[in-house]
Structure 1
Amino acid sequence: MPIAILALALGTFGIGTTEFVIMGMLPIVGADLGVDVPTAGQYVSSYAMGVVVGAPLLTALTVRLARRWTLVGLLVLFTLGNLLSALAPTHEVLLATRFLTGLPHGAFFGVGVLVAASLVAPSRRGRAMATVVLGLTIANVVGVPGGTFIAQQLGWRWTFAAIALVGVVATIAVAAFAPRGERDTTTTGSLRAELAAFARPQVLLTLAVVIFGLGGLFASYSYVAPMLTDVSGLAESSVPWVLVLVGVGMTAGSYLGGRMSDRSTLATLAGGLVLVIAVLLALTVLLDSPVAAVVLLVLLGFGSLALGPAIQMRIVEQAGGAPTMVSAGVQSAFNIANSIGAWLGGAVIAAGAGLRAPNLVGAALAVVGLVILGVSGFLEIRERRTTTAQAEPVPAAA
């Protein structure tokens, strides 16, 4: 595996840590800044909206630049956002800094997976993309529980400071090892062509699968800490260790998802969504059992992250020669899912439905995602049949 891909994975490790660690720190941050848990859930949503805005905007601004320096600049902005979060004095300021930190997220993933894919043979592109995404899943094994532990022991501000340090190291690594060539000549480099890729029906359907399918994950996982402590009965000190196990599940899901995606993206997506739906329904019923809750959360992480490489491969396949913006668009869709899921999960809690309810909301969102995937698959099969029929020679008249 080229060392440049590992440098990119270090960047996604930092990004994944700052995105997900807030979910394990919501009660701590909320108590320190004087807001309740549903209100603290806005830190999840504000980061997500930063990604939604930043992915198309920063990708459009950098589409003609050398990818190496684009990646470095994005990591510098990410590092600055975490430093400012560590210093945020109020709830409102932290909302703003979380938004700022989210801005480079989508563009970094979008460019990073394309750089990784360009460094390996076509038959290994799924695994190369999965390795970049693996930084995100390792963040859930090491970064998120580690950051939660730091927050419990030293305070949440030290967590963001530690993530900023990871950002500095990742910036240096990417600057040193990313390909030094200019912009990838296998793509158009045209902003018009990049934007036109969004008009392709399969691109839009894949993005919709991300929004609803992964919205199911975030409706539940955004409130994992209060669910484990208030319903499952686990001690607050146990939460980081549960997050470690969930991260292991995510890592395994991302790895196997990459291998399966090299065979069939549709089958990988369908299998992952079915698993997510089943797990969320089971969590609704079994959340009061600590053992069952932990096992099911690990399976939720496995099924959800198995979708990542398949989504990236499918969106790039459908984008033709203009994959940069749609690849970044996956991260926008991912974080729309994050924002919608966290908001709906918090809304049902605030309405008095209890901490089990976000799991039902998540299952419903994932069902919608599965239906949309079915439509996408149907259209693809019909298109293949039409293409095959048109390619068949017409029998000569007798």
Structure 2
Amino acid sequence: MPLAVHVLGLAIFAQGTSELMIAGLLPEMAADLGVSVSATGLLISAFALGMLAGAPALAVLTLRWPRRTAMLTFLAVFVAAHVAGALTDDYAVLFGTRVVAAFVYAGFWAAASVTAIGLAGPDARGRAMAVVAGGLTVATVAGLPAGTVLGQHYGWRAAFWAVAALSALAMIGVFATIPGGRPGAAGTPRLRDELRTMAMPRLWAAYATTALATSGLLATFGYLAPLVTEVTGLSEGSVPLVMALYGLGATIGITLGGRVADRRPFTTLHVGLAGGVVVSAGLALLAGAPAPTLVLALLLGGAGFGINPALNTRVFALAEGAPTLAAAVNISAFNVGITVGPWLGGLAIDAGLGYRSVAWIGAALIAAALVTAASAALSSRRSAVRANPAAEPAAAPVPVTDGR
């Protein structure tokens, strides 16, 4: 795998840490800014809002830019937003910096995905996306707890400075390893081609799979901590262990998924989604027992992240000639899931259905994603047969003669 792809993974790690670390810094930030914890929690929503809009908007605005220039610009704005956030005492200013940072982070995600796929080649798309998306996995496992510890000991602003420094380091790596210059005329992206590609129904079916699968995973994961403390009966001190098991499973899942997604994308999706349904339902049924819950937390991370490379490579396979906007909208589809899943789980909890209900909701959403993936596989198989009728098996064997 080219070094540049690993550099892109590092950049996603730096920015992904910022996406996640607010959850661990809410009390400190609320006290310092003089606002409620719930108001501080809206900073997480601000980031999700920025990412949802940022990917497609910036994909269009920077479509004809050299990708290295686009990614360096996004990273520079991201660094500036975190410096401004670390220096301000105004909640409204901080809220604005979170939206801006998420906006350019989403743009970086889209550009990095297309760049990594191009550098790795068509036979290694899944592995390339596993490396890039693996940066977010490492952010979950290491960046989130490190940012929390840093913020608790040196103040939440120190975590913002650390993210800014890591992102600046990533800028150096991008400048040194990503080829510069504009693509040749034949390869210059055109908005008309990108929009024509977006009209494909199969592409929107792929987005539906991404959004449903992600919402199902986040419906369960978003409330995993209270599930294990309130239902399983584990202490709050054991929550980091549960999260570490989830992160370990995510790391294993995305590594294995990246290795097989190129050869068998639909098999990867079907196995991972079916596993997600079983694991989520298992948590709903067995959350009262500590040992199964710990094992299922590990498997939830594995199933949820194992399909990530296939969800991305499927979009690139469909939008082969004009992937930039298609990849950007897939980033938005991920963020739709990140927003909708926990929201549905919260509605169930507020309705008095208990924490087990979120796992049932997760299982139902992932099951819906499995249906869309299976339908897409069937449609793809039919299209392949129509395109190459000779590949379709004959209804009955035809005797072969030598003409005598």
Give TM-score, length-normalised by structure 1.
Answer: 0.88
Counterpart in 2 of 1:11? 11
Structure 1 contact 130–258 (Cα < 8 Å) conserved = yes
Displacement, 1:43? Answer: 4.0
Displacement, 1:164? Answer: 2.4
Query: Following the alignment from structure 1 to structure 2, what is the Cα–Cα distance between the partners of residues 185 and 259?
Result: 33
Counterpart in 2 of 1:196? 196
Counterpart in 1 of 2:365? 365
Identify unmatched segments of 5+ residues in structure 2: 393-404
The question of 1:34 aligning with 2:7 is answered no
Q: Name whichever of 145-154 and 243-252 sits farther off.
A: 145-154
Code of the aligned partner of 1:355: Y
Q: RCO (CA 8 Å, sep 6+): is it higher in 1 or 2?
A: 1
Q: Name whichever of 208-217 and 289-298 sits farther off.
A: 289-298
Query: Following the alignment from structure 1 to structure 2, what is the Cα–Cα distance between the partners of residues 295 and 26?
Result: 29
Query: Following the alignment from structure 1 to structure 2, what is the Cα–Cα distance between the partners of residues 268 and 186?
Result: 33
Counterpart in 1 of 2:143? 143
Matches within 5 A, 1:1-398: 1-24=1-24, 33-36=35-38, 42-86=42-86, 95-183=95-183, 187-389=187-389
Query: Following the alignment from structure 2 to structure 1, what is the Cα–Cα distance between the partners of residues 197 and 113?
Result: 17
Query: Following the alignment from structure 2 to structure 1, what is the Cα–Cα distance between the partners of residues 89 and 355?
Result: 29
Q: In structure 2, do the counterparts of structure 1 residues 41 and 275 end up closer, same or farther at CA, with 3 Å as the change threshold?
A: farther
Query: Following the alignment from structure 1 to structure 2, what is the Cα–Cα distance between the partners of residues 181 and 104?
Result: 21
Identity score, percent? 38
Q: In structure 2, do the counterparts of structure 1 residues 206 and 165 end up closer, same or farther at CA, with 3 Å as the change threshold?
A: same
Structure 2 contact 14–139 (Cα < 8 Å) conserved = yes
Query: Following the alignment from structure 1 to structure 2, what is the Cα–Cα distance between the partners of residues 252 and 69?
Result: 33
Displacement, 1:88? Answer: 6.3
Query: Following the alignment from structure 2 to structure 1, what is the Cα–Cα distance between the partners of residues 204 and 65?
Result: 26
Displacement, 1:74? Answer: 1.2
Displacement, 1:140? Answer: 1.7
Query: Following the alignment from structure 1 to structure 2, what is the Cα–Cα distance between the partners of residues 88 and 256?
Result: 43
Computing the radius of gyration from Cα coordinates, the structure with the larger value is 2
Displacement, 1:316? Answer: 0.6
Displacement, 1:171? Answer: 1.7
- Matched length: 390
Identify unmatched segments of 5+ residues in structure 1: 393-398
Query: Following the alignment from structure 2 to structure 1, what is the Cα–Cα distance between the partners of residues 98 and 72?
Result: 20
Displacement, 1:338? Answer: 0.5
Code of the aligned partner of 1:34: S
Give TM-score, length-normalised by structure 2.
Answer: 0.87
Q: In structure 2, do the counterparts of structure 1 residues 84 and 298 end up closer, same or farther at CA, with 3 Å as the change threshold?
A: farther
Structure 2 contact 64–188 (Cα < 8 Å) conserved = no
What RMSD, in angstroms, separates the aligned Cα atoms of the two structures?
2.6
